[in-house]
Chain A
Amino acid sequence: MKTALGDLELRQPRTLDEALAMLRDDGPLLPLAGCTDVYVQLEFGVMPARRFMDVSRLRELRGIERMDGGGLRIGAGATYTEIVRAPLVAQRLPMLVAASREVGGVQIQNRGTLGGNVANASPAGDSLPVLAAADAVVVLRSAADGERRVPFTAFHTGYRASVLRPDELIVAFEIPPVEGEQWFRKVGTRAAQAISKVVFAGVKGGPRPRIAIGSVAPTVVRAFRTEEALASGASIEEAQQVFGEEIRPIDDIRSTAEYRRRVAANLLRRWWVGQ
């Protein structure tokens, strides 16, 4: 590991209140749980943070529960494995199960958490399009202000940036009932252990179509205009045109803008017309 251990500090709160007090009184501290991103950065010596707080044992962040009215509440500390194994998620948000199964191998799924994926704020996060398409709400908590709720689509503000304050933790995600058929596709170099080139979640057959796509802009994109076009009877070619205007893919180490545009348009077609 390229980072010297002597410089690092780890705080280990036992309760959520203790954790929030630490963030308020003794920050900045970078929360860590599954460490599947943190240790990659430590390994390469590019982790800017030196002080960390382990939130993996906070019971308040665990659990997957049904909410009144048919919704679903998933604790920020829920691991992908817990999500894959939860009958409640399979029932209400199967596209999240599909996404969780494709996050790395089993070893990564056993450690990585939904809250970590969102807080890490990479546009390639596999769960992000699902949460965007599902109209999820991010529940944040701080010692100063208690709880506040932010629509998932307003959470990320730019590349690796979000509205999360340094004194706040993501506590949970609330997902209202999703009407319609859910669909998820990840396109990467290989099926397991690959970071997405394009990642897509869609819902159709409900009151209106919903589309979210990752790895094609600085943040995950909820394609409202494309949804609108499809809802008002546009052809798939017209919708692909609008979709192309809503995304901002770039060339990077994993793919090219051109390839991503093509794949995005193809995924839209495959999802909408099945071919």
Chain B
Amino acid sequence: MRFELNGQEVEVDAHPMRRLLDVLRVECGLTGTKEGCGEGECGACTVLVDGEPVCSCLVPFAQAGGTSVVTIEGLGGKHPLQRAFGDHGGAQCGICTPGMILAAVALGPNPTLEQVRVGLAGNLCRCTGYEAIYRSVLGAYEAVDDRRPAAEAPAVGGGSKADGGAAFGTGADGGRSDVAGAGRSRSNGSGADAGAGSAGKAGL
């Protein structure tokens, strides 16, 4: 069956009732998508199907035919959210992180805190208590565009530390945790804009 996987047309042969989760992890070898509960409760297996977050443990492979599927691998490790989860300690054990990030991607740039709470309500985390995750999502689009430390400090309530990125980055991007400064300069021009970013700060 044909579908688009992370921007590339692919053809995969699997049982039509096989879970999309298993097809991605086994047939496609993309193990960034995690299995948590297997019953649509925890959101760890979240992927985007035609841009919308879904639990891949509840999707029969047949329903993926002709769609566009994006997994954490499709973000390439350089997405502002991936970097932000490292910078702000949004990832600890890392199991929920790919799903959290994809659910956050679906919110688009500069969501409000309320939008983040609602958008991530279907993603459970046993480690962080969620505050660091909210900080990561809210901070993701602010940090990329502006390296002035003064601009960053009030945005994240003091929760952003450059060494946090090194410590916590592995869950989000498979080990490529750029330390904050270098990473940010490289993602300049990725589309987030500073003006809208400050609206997100007000939401904190």
Q: Which of A104-161 contact B (CB under 8 A)?
A: 104-108, 110-111
The answer to whether B60 has its CB under 8 Å from any CB of chain A is yes
In whole angstroms, how far apart are the Cα atoms of A10 and B64 in the complex?
Answer: 14
Interface size on A, residues (CB 8 A): 30
Is A12 touching B16 in the complex (CB atoms < 8 A)? yes
Contact status B59-A111, CB under 8 Å: yes
- Decide if B40 touches A10 in the complex (CB within 8 Å): no
Q: Are B60 and A193 in contact (CB under 8 A)?
A: no
Identify whether the interface residues of A are mostly helix, strand, loop, or mixed.
mixed
Across the interface, which residues of A come within 8 angstroms of B63, CB to CB? 35, 54, 56
Roughly how many angstroms separate A191 CA and B58 CA in the complex, as a whole number? 21
Complexed CA–CA distance, A34 and B57 (Å): 12
For B39, give its contact among A43, A56, A81, A110 (CB under 8 Å). A43
User: Known contacts being A8-B17, A108-B55, is A1 close to B38, with CB within 8 Å?
Assistant: yes
Within 8 Å of chain B (Cβ to Cβ): is A231?
no
Q: How far is the CA of A252 from the CA of B18 in the complex (A)?
A: 32
Q: Would you list which residues of chain B between 42 and 98 have a CB under 8 Å from chain A?
A: 43, 46, 52-55, 57-60, 62-63
Number of B residues whose C-beta is below 8 Å from A?
31
Q: Are A54 and B62 in contact (CB under 8 A)?
A: yes
Q: Is B127 an interface residue (CB 8 A)?
A: no
Interface status of B34 (Cβ within 8 A of chain A): no
Chain B contacts for A42, CB-based, 8 A: 17
CA distance in complex: A42, B38 (Å): 10
Query: B15 to A39, Cβ gap below 8 A?
Result: no
Say yes or no for A32: interface residue by CB 8 A criterion: yes
Given A39-B57, A54-B63, A110-B53, check contact A5 B15 (CB 8 Å): yes
Whether A193 contacts B122 by the Cβ 8 Å rule is yes
B38–A107 touching, CB < 8 Å: no
Asked whether A105 lies within 8 Å of B121 as measured between CB atoms, the reply is: yes
Q: Is there an interface contact between A106 and B103, defined as CB atoms closer than 8 Å? A: yes
Q: Does A86 contact B (CB under 8 A)?
A: no
Docked-complex contact A108 and B17, CB < 8 angstroms = no
A81 contacts across to B, CB distance below 8 A: 52
Q: Does B123 contact A (CB under 8 A)?
A: yes
Contact assessment for B58 and A193 in the assembled complex, using a CB-CB cutoff below 8 Å: no
Q: Could you tell me if A54 and B54 are in contact, using CB atoms closer than 8 angstroms?
A: no
Cβ-defined contact, A52 with B40, below 8 A:
no
Are the C-beta atoms of B122 and A106 separated by less than 8 Å?
A: yes
Q: Which residues of chain A are within 8 angstroms of B118 by Cβ–Cβ distance? A: 106
- The reply to whether B19 and A1 contact each other, CB–CB distance below 8 Å, is yes
Contact of A110 among B15, B52, B123 (CB under 8 A): B52
Cross-chain contact of A107 among B18, B19, B46 (Cβ < 8 A): B46
**Residues B19 and A40 in contact, CB atoms below 8 Å apart:** no
Given contacts A54-B60, A107-B53, contact A10 B16 (CB under 8 A): yes
20 pairs from A and B in contact (CB 8 Å cutoff): A1-B19, A6-B15, A35-B63, A36-B58, A39-B40, A39-B60, A43-B38, A43-B39, A52-B17, A81-B52, A105-B122, A105-B123, A106-B103, A106-B106, A106-B121, A107-B43, A108-B40, A110-B54, A111-B59, A193-B124
Residues in chain A within 8 A of chain B (CB atoms): 1, 5-6, 8-10, 12, 32, 34-36, 39-40, 42-44, 52, 54, 56, 81, 104-108, 110-111, 191-193
Instruction: Please give me the 9 A-B residue pairs with the lowest Cβ-Cβ distance, nearest first.
Output: A105-B122, A192-B121, A39-B58, A10-B16, A8-B17, A40-B39, A107-B55, A107-B122, A110-B52
Mark B residues whose CB is within 8 Å of A.
15-19, 22, 38-41, 43, 46, 52-55, 57-60, 62-63, 103, 106, 118-124
